[in-house]
Amino acid sequence: MFFAALFAMYFTTRAVQGPKVWLESTGMLNIPFAATNTTVLVLSSVTCQYGVFAAERFQARRAGTIWQLNKWGMREWFALTFLMGAFFIAGQVYEYAMLVSEGLSLSSNSYGSVFYMTTGFHGLHVTGGLIAFLIVLVRVFRAQKFGHNQATTAIVVSYYWHFVDIVWIALFSAIYLIK
């Protein structure tokens, strides 16, 4: 519901403001950079799911070398997912810095307000997911035996992560692709 409200705010503000502010402001967006950042986030759902597959077979850690991806366990896949999510957040911080240097800030115009609120709240949710991955990794590391409880926790965190990714695909489409 929260993200539905953000989408409603975005499209309402866009309709009321008119095309001039939107065209000027969206012209500042670095779409190839954002698309690359989006690709990393979407691929992190793939690595997350591989971690779930490992958790479902109760494989906490890799059974082979670090280079044998087919023998990775939940810990390796979730660690990679964490790194990809952190890369996404770092990319957003970089993008914010570039846009502010070009004059688009939270208070510069209605587009800036809507852009930073929608992407910023999404970034907070991604950060929450990163914290959840750390909690799962610590719990699995400390567990005497990897069992049903650890696998269930990993699966629940993956649901959240996939949801955050799906929301970003919709946000990316609305913000970066629809002119």
Dihedral angle computed from the Cα positions of residues 11, 31, 92 and 116, in that order, rounded to the nearest 10 degrees: -20
DSSP string, 94-108: HHHHHHHHTT--TTT
Give yes or no for residue 179 having a pLDDT over 80. Answer: no
* Residue 18, pLDDT above cutoff 80: no
Question: What is the pLDDT, as a whole number, of residue 33?
Answer: 97
- Over residues 97-116, the pLDDT tens digits come to 999 999 999 998 888 899 99
- Give tens-digit pLDDT for 40-72: 999 999 999 999 999 999 997 878 888 888 889
Mean pLDDT of 113-120: 94
- Asked whether 61 and 108 are in contact (CB, 8 A), the reply is no
From the options 3.30.1490.20, 3.90.1150.10, 3.40.50.1980, 1.20.120.80, give the CATH code of 2-177.
1.20.120.80
Q: Give the pLDDT of residue 94.
A: 98
Are 106 and 113 in contact, with CB atoms under 8 Å apart?
yes
End-to-end CA distance of the chain: give it in Å, rounded. 25
Question: Residue 159 pLDDT > 90, yes or no?
Answer: yes
pLDDT of residue 62: 79
In the structure, what pLDDT confidence band is assigned to residue 93 with cuts at 50, 70 and 90? very high
Using the predicted structure, report yes or no on whether residue 36 has a pLDDT greater than 90: yes
Provide the residue count of the chain: 179
CA nearest to 120, candidates 21, 42, 17, 6:
6
Q: How does the average pLDDT of the chain come out, rounded?
A: 92
Q: What is the pTM of this model?
A: 0.91
Backbone phi, psi, residue 77, to 5°: -65, -40
Top pLDDT among 178 and 18 is at 178
Between 40-49, 60-69, 82-91, 129-138, the lowest mean confidence (pLDDT) is in 60-69
